[in-house]
Amino acid sequence: MNEHESCSMNIALTLCHQDYGAVIFDLDGVLTNTAQLHASAWKKVFDNFLLQTAQNKGTPFIPFDTDMDYLVYLDGKPHYDGASAFLKSRGINLPWGSPEDGPDVQSICGLGNLKDSYFISHLQQKVIEVYESSVALVR
């Protein structure tokens, strides 16, 4: 077997909770279904940004697609990296900025921080679905 074949092997493991004193789960997307909330927050950020950009440049406004754009560029990535990848796909270059950038700063970090504020607002307004199959693992 060469090195490429070994990378593509699927291995199934069975874990017994009696064998472990503690287990750490990522809450977001593992124990709770928050993908739609993330996608919705990104849509709000990017639609506002893309509309403003289109108006400033006199180009057509093409909205953020929560199905395709979210899955391809943002899902599962750190939010600044995802924002950068999405903007690059649209031919938009923004400075990276700083994690301390406020939501009014036109930077990758500023947009990511704005998304986080929308996401937190969504969390406070909605009931979050729990993945029962994941929760069953900790019982």
Active-site choice (28, 47, 75, 116): 28
pLDDT at position 15 is 67
**What average pLDDT does this structure show over 101-125?**
93
Render pLDDT for 45-91 as a digit per residue (tens, 0 to 9).
999 999 999 999 999 999 999 999 999 999 989 999 999 999 999 99
pLDDT at position 106 is 94
Inform me whether the pLDDT recorded for 8 exceeds 60: no
Pick 28-130's CATH classification: 3.30.2410, 3.40.630, 1.10.150, 1.20.120: 1.10.150
Contacts of 55 (CB under 8 A, 6+ apart): 61
Cα 78 to Cα 35, 83, 84, 116, 131, distances in angstroms: 13, 9, 10, 12, 22
Active-site choice (19, 26, 67, 104): 26
pLDDT at position 26 is 62
Residue 26 annotated in active site: yes
Residue 47 annotated in active site: no
pLDDT at position 5 is 45
**Position 3 confidence tier, pLDDT thresholds 50, 70, 90:** very low
Inform me whether the pLDDT recorded for 124 exceeds 80: yes
Q: Quick one: tokens of 60?
A: 């057509």
**Position 35 confidence tier, pLDDT thresholds 50, 70, 90:** confident
**Position 6 confidence tier, pLDDT thresholds 50, 70, 90:** very low
Alpha-carbon distance 27 to 31, whole Å? 5
